[in-house]
Amino acid sequence: MHFSSYQDLRSGLLTRKITCEEVIQSYLERIDRHCDDNIFLAVFHETALSRARSLDRKLSEGAAPGRLFGMPMAIKDNIAMKGARLTCASRILENYESVYDATVIERLMDEDAVLIGKTNMDEFAMGSSNENSAFGPVANPFDKTRVPGGSSGGSAAAVAAGLALVALGSDTGGSVRQPAGFCDIVGLKPTYGRISRYGLVAFASSFDQIGILARNSNDAALVLSVMAGADERDATSSHHPVSSYTEEMAGVSPQGLKIGVPKEFFHESLNPDVARLVKAKLEELRQNGAELVDITLPASDYAIAAYYILVTAEASSNLARFDGARYGYRSPDCDNLSAMYVNSRTEGFGKEVKRRIMLGTYVLSAGYYDTYYKKAQQVRRVFQDRYREALEMVDVIAGPTSPFPPFGIGDKMDDPLEMYLADVFTVPASIVGMPAISVPVGYDSLNLPVGMHLICNFFEEGKLLGIAGLMQHSIVSEKS
């Protein structure tokens, strides 16, 4: 059983051609067949099936189906679901079970979605390849020797391989968009504050947003409309009214659309296939009536530097709560309080997480605060001003999602700085807090997927999804 869009699946369910139980059963079987790819950290065989049966009953009793009725969804393992393990792909939380649901989980459940499992990720969402998971890497469905991107690598691979129709990820600097680009699907990071972060394990709180991985922009728009909106349990969630994203999308046309193309994004170091495919897609839109406008933006390498200073600073503070006392793992080897802290954290955290905690405490330390942290905050402000100005002139800023196509498992693990470059195009939208999306635009010479990255102004998700819809190449084929 295969569905390329929720509309497909929904009409089958509502006309009773198929039952929810059959759909969920077939997704679960597919997940079991793919278990070697390490995409899921937990699969809810029984609860998903019993929920599917109760949704079937609900429909046969004549109750109105919710907006996500029967949608099989996967959830990144840093989002809390009551009674389920919440590992963040870390040893330190390996046996930790959440005692409450994230706001997004409540909202999805209220609209009759079926949550089928928790997906693998980079530990605490730190990484670009999913190789920093304490539970092993994830295979890219297009080429199993390659990474699916990260940190939401499991969520992206699940959607690309047809193991879930839509998945949730989290995006701090590109973790939804970059893996979407690597797996030939759509990945949306909404405006900062658009979706409640209550129940999302914090990495860098002023950047983190829950995002959506889907096979097309329409499905992403639907799920966004369910999850978006203010939440009294997250003071940073926005009260900006939630639009009808599907309607707004339908109103977007290439005629007169102004697409800003920063020349800095097409530096000569950009992979030539990526450059060719992205330019070809932009040219296609131009021929359909859009205007391509050359713009300049601050150099992206400043974004990478500022990003890694700011997020490590925030992470070092957020991760202080994992101390062996309050949550998760406690080292058996501790005969005093300080040994408990030190040994629990030493044994519980992986290498990249430790690197970031050390970097974060360093940039916040008294002697270096002004040189690094304060400077990076100033850079953040410059980026915010320049992106705002650019989006007064154009509707959208376009470029590649990643400077290179999916790389081999193990290729960049010895060089963290090289790995950080994977985020060079996605990080600016996170620094400024604007909504951004990755949309598939074609395949390189090795038949690997390439994504286009689009940024719109604050709260313009409807327009952004509409433009992505104009660009997506004919719907992705299922990879198995």
Active site residues: 76, 151, 175
Question: Which one of the spans 23-31, 168-176, 271-279, 358-366 is the region binding ligand GLN (CB under 6 A)?
Answer: 168-176
Residue 231 amino acid letter: D
Residue 368, CA distances (Å) to 59, 364, 452 in order: 61, 7, 37
Determine how β-strand 258-262 pairs with β-strand 166-171.
unpaired
CB of 172 to ligand GLN, least distance (A): 3
Angle at 467 between CA 463 and CA 472, to 5 degrees: 145
Residue nearest to ligand GLN (CB): 175
Q: Applying CB under 6 A, which part among 66-74, 125-133, 159-167, 368-376 lies near ligand GLN?
A: 125-133
Quote the CA–CA distance of 281 and 470 in Å, as a whole number: 10
Residue with Cβ nearer ligand GLN (22 or 234) = 234
CB of 349 to ligand GLN, least distance (A): 15
79 in Cβ contact with 98 (< 8 Å): no
Q: Does 123 bind ligand GLN (CB under 6 A)?
A: no
Q: Does 125 engage in binding with ligand GLN (CB under 6 A)?
A: yes
Closer residue to ligand GLN, CB minimum distance, 24 or 125: 125
Strand order in the sheet with 40-43: 40-43, 114-119, 72-76, 166-171, 209-214, 186-189, 436-443, 449-455, 396-400, 258-262, 291-295
Q: Closest approach of Cβ 138 to ligand GLN, in Å?
A: 14
Of 182-241, binders to ligand GLN (CB under 6 A) are 203
- Cα dihedral 175/178/179/183 (nearest 10): 160
Among 175, 216, 225, 402, which residue sits at the site for ligand GLN (rule: CB under 6 A)?
Answer: 175
Binding mask 437-476 for ligand GLN (x = CB under 6 A): ----------------------------------------
Report how far residue 220's alpha carbon sits from residue 454's, in angstroms, rounded to the nearest whole number.
15
Shortest distance, CB of residue 387 to ligand GLN, whole angstroms? 18
**Per CB under 6 A, 151 contacts ligand GLN:** yes
Question: Which uninterrupted H or E stretch holds 470?
Answer: helix 461-471
Looking at the chain, how many residues does it have? 480
Q: Which residue among 103, 172, 316, 457 contacts ligand GLN (CB under 6 A)?
A: 172
CB of 85 to ligand GLN, least distance (A): 20
Smaller CB distance to ligand GLN: residue 108 or 200? 200
Tokens 């604007």 locate to 434
Q: Does 126 participate in binding ligand GLN (rule CB under 6 A)?
A: yes
Nearest distance, CB of residue 201 and ligand GLN, angstroms = 11
From 166-174, 190-198, 289-297, 334-342, give the range in contact with ligand GLN by CB under 6 A: 166-174
Q: Does residue 189 contact residue 209 with C-beta atoms inside 8 Å?
A: yes
Would the CA dihedral through 263, 266, 268, 272 be positive or negative?
A: negative
Does 423 bind ligand GLN (CB under 6 A)? Our answer is yes
Number of amino acids touching ligand GLN (CB under 6 A): 14
Looking at 21, 37, 143, 171, which residue binds ligand GLN (CB under 6 A)? 171
Cβ-Cβ contacts under 8 Å for 474 (sequence gap 6 or more) = none
Distance separating the N- and C-terminal Cα atoms of the chain: 13
Work out whether 127 is an interface residue with ligand GLN (CB under 6 A). Answer: yes
For 195, which DSSP code? B
248 binds ligand GLN (CB under 6 A): no
Cα(353)–Cα(132) distance, integer angstroms: 9
Of residues 70, 141, 174, 324, which one binds ligand GLN by CB under 6 A?
174
Burial class, 313, CB count within 10 angstroms (exposed 0-12 / middle 13-18 / buried 19+) = buried
Alpha helices by DSSP H, listed for 76-233, are 103-110, 153-160, 177-183, 217-227
- Closest distance to ligand GLN from the beta carbon of 306 (Å): 12
Q: Does the footprint of ligand GLN cover residue 162 (CB under 6 A)?
A: no
Which CB atom, from 13 or from 92, has the smaller least distance to ligand GLN? Answer: 92
Give the nearer residue to ligand GLN in terms of CB position, either 28 or 86: 86
CA 217/CA 211 separation, integer angstroms: 13
Taking the CA atoms of the chain, what radius of gyration do you get in angstroms?
A: 21
For the bound state, the minimum distance from the C-beta of residue 189 to ligand GLN, rounded and expressed in Å, comes to 8
What residue ranges bind ligand GLN (CB under 6 A)?
125-128, 151, 170-175, 203, 311, 423
